[in-house]
Amino acid sequence: MNPEIVGYIGSIISTVSFLPQVIKVYSTKQTRDISYSAFALFGTGNIIWTTYGVMTNSFPVIVANILIFILVMIIILLKFQYEKKK
Residues 12-36, mean pLDDT to the nearest whole number: 90
Domain region containing 48 = 3-85
SS3 38: helix
Stated pTM of the model: 0.84
pLDDT > 70 fraction of the chain, expressed in percent and rounded: 99
Counting the structural domains of the chain, the total is 1
pLDDT digits (tens, 9 = 90+) for 32-70: 888 989 988 988 999 999 999 999 999 999 999 999 999
CATH number of the domain within which 18 lies? 1.20.1280.290
pLDDT at residue 86 greater than cutoff 80: no
Q: Which residues does 58 contact at the CB level (< 8 Å), separation at least 6?
A: 7, 52
Instruction: Calculate the average pLDDT of the chain.
Output: 90
Q: Which residues does 78 contact at the CB level (< 8 Å), separation at least 6?
A: 22, 25, 26, 29, 31
